Chain A
Amino acid sequence: MELVQVRNLKTYFPVRIGIIDALKRKKLFVRAVDGVSFSIKRGEVFGLIGESGCGKTTLSRSVLRLIEPTEGEVIFNGINILKLNDEEMRKIRKSMQIIFQDPYSSLNPKMKIGEIIAHPLIIHGMDKKEAKEQVLQMLGKVGLTPEKEFYERYPHQLSGGQRQRVAIARAMVLNPEFVVADEAVSMIDVSMRASIIELLEEFRRMYNLSMLFVTHDIAIARLITNRTAVMYLGKIVELSETKTLIDNPLHPYSRALINAAPTISRKKDFKVKIKGEVPNAINPPEGCRLSNRCPFASEICKKEEPELVEVEKGHFVACHMT
């Protein structure tokens, strides 16, 4: 059962240009997300990995329509949410939530923790007394005890880990079916990460939650996701079960990415290497977008864009050479 289906999603941002280009009516776009399709099953954690600038954050926001996509479909529970009007969209947000990377700026500094978590409930029509009950319960579930004390505190009185628990509580209090976690643990101290991940995993199990887990840390993706997509310059280059992807990456970019991840469990070979750095998404290379950095690139790679094809069951790769 697919809960979320993303079809050929594109999000372009116009680039500010000089007056002369404007007169020539030349329009430039950052093609942050450029034709992405995938789906997430009920109860599944779907990982999205890639380097900064690959479009994973834009994609995660576009799926929730926090950024307006340019083209494509996002089908949630059978409804294309990109077609909904403001009021319908507002209502459906109850079932789709997000946890942000930075727990320092994602909480309103002028609201008490209790108010922060209660507000989603009140927006969606619960009365204040009932909301408070629920919030206290939620505070207990995310491990912020004594609940009554945390209810009255302000964000600046909490540590980074505690703030992220508040952010999780705010997302989970509406009992959503789908949650986007955008680098939800990368700003948390190493020793605390595990507990935040455990918490997310617990919610997923309890409520059969679907998650889109965006991260640059492949080790964390391995820990929590079922399937993972690797993004490069606005496109998915490989998609498969996370374990398969890590043990047997097929796309040269995934191979480089996984190879570069530091590990203590084996001595690595420092062989697969990608030259240079990610180019900007205004003028991506023609053909395969990795072609200018790929050690295996041939003529066809520079001309034709490879499609995402299923090479073994459930393992998709977009590369001419595999």
Chain B
Amino acid sequence: MLEVEDLTVYYYTSKGVVRAVEGVSFSISKREWITFVGESGSGKSTVAQAVIRLVPYPGKIQGGKILFNGKNILELNKKEMRKLRGREISMVFQDPMTSLDPLRKIGDQVVEAMTEHGVDEEEAKKRAIKLLKRVNIPEDRIDYYPHQLSGGQRQRVAIAIAAALEPSLIIADEPTTALDVIVQESIMELLQELKNSGTSIMFVTHDISLAFERSDRIAVMYAGKVCELGRSEELVSNPIHPYLKALLDSVPDVHSDKKVKAIPGNPPDLRNPPSGCRFHPRCPFASEICKKEEPELVELEKGHFVACHEVV
């Protein structure tokens, strides 16, 4: 359904060009949940924003193709893009206050999300009530303003708006990072329900455990590139890329007594990324070739892609 080829996004800051995302390719099929995992600065959010062409200034999509049902999104004009957003692809942000209007009632905002795309007012109102009910916002809250709701409820409203027109893809960029675990769980469940009813989910998080629980596939990003991509159980039980291995070793788990190990060094400065494999300065297995040549993302087993010289 969605195919991204060779996506490259740079940020033109006053302190130099940040090569935030470089040569990222992946696809999402119908009714699939794919999660992008990475640390801050890995480019995971930028990929998500690029798919809906909302990369913030001074970022620019430098190259690549984003094919949505065969059409290249990057070639659409503004009007076509507006039509696509919300109707075909919609987005949920980390902070729901960035997308909700603080001065308007939540019910009206859900209604507007539909009327803007040509649904008539009466119909939209009926559907808004249903939608809010579906995301567990009681009917009497429909006239509330965003600030009267808790963080979790606001995020539910944001999801209701995103789901209003039954888009084929919902992009969720760290929607639960600011929330507590119990609320997080309920938001995840909501997304799962949307997925079960036919929507594809592109989820972005820094928490690999969270990614593992609900997603079909996981893409692990490091320094602007996808280093490993595959089915989520496969990735967690059989990690191949040294970065993913190190990442899994560095996070504690509630139900295991394993000791954690930090990854030595720091993520690179993407204004001037390391030559060859971007992980090589921190990689315990790096050899000469890693410093010189960039590894390509290769399919090792069916559906399991890795970008590493040492394992190919």
Is B153 touching A258 in the complex (CB atoms < 8 A)? no
> Does B189 interact with chain A (Cβ within 8 Å)?
yes
* Interface residue? A260 (CB, 8 A): yes
Q: Is the CB of B251 within 8 A of A219?
A: yes
What does DSSP make chain A's interface, helix, strand, loop or mixed? helix
Chain B, 243-270, contact with A by CB distance < 8 Å: what is the 0/1 string?
Answer: 0001110111111110011110011000
Excluding A190-B206, A265-B255, 7 further A-B contacts by CB distance (< 8 Å) are: A51-B180, A51-B182, A191-B263, A194-B260, A194-B263, A222-B254, A259-B185
Known: A189-B39, A191-B39, A195-B262. Contact between A264 and B153, CB under 8 A?
Answer: no
Contact A223 B266 (CB under 8 A): no
CB distance from A218 to the nearest CB of B (A): 5
Interface residue? A131 (CB, 8 A): no
Query: Can you name 21 A-B residue pairings with CB atoms under 8 Å?
Result: A51-B180, A52-B180, A161-B266, A189-B39, A190-B247, A191-B246, A191-B262, A191-B267, A194-B251, A194-B260, A197-B252, A216-B180, A222-B254, A243-B257, A257-B181, A260-B185, A261-B254, A262-B181, A262-B210, A264-B209, A268-B213
Residues of B within 8 A of A220 (CB): 252
The reply to whether B262 and A219 contact each other, CB–CB distance below 8 Å, is no
Tell me which residues across on chain B come within 8 A of A258, comparing CB atoms. 254
A 132-173 contacts with B by CB, 8 A: 159, 161
What B residues does A198 contact at CB under 8 A?
260, 262
State whether B184 touches A189 (Cβ < 8 A): no
CB within 8 Å for A191 and B254 given contacts A260-B181, A260-B184 = no
A277–B262 CB distance below 8 A: no
Q: How far is the CB of A202 from chain B (nearest CB, A)?
A: 13
Residue from the list A191, A223, A259, A277 in contact with B150, Cβ < 8 A: A277
B152: interface (CB < 8 Å): yes
Nearest-neighbor residue (CB-CB) of A246 within chain B: B254
Min CB–CB distance B100 → chain A (angstroms): 17
Task: State which residues 156-174 of B face A: CB under 8 Å.
Answer: none
Closest 10 CB pairs of A and B: A195-B262, A262-B209, A51-B180, A194-B262, A260-B185, A194-B260, A262-B210, A219-B252, A260-B181, A191-B263
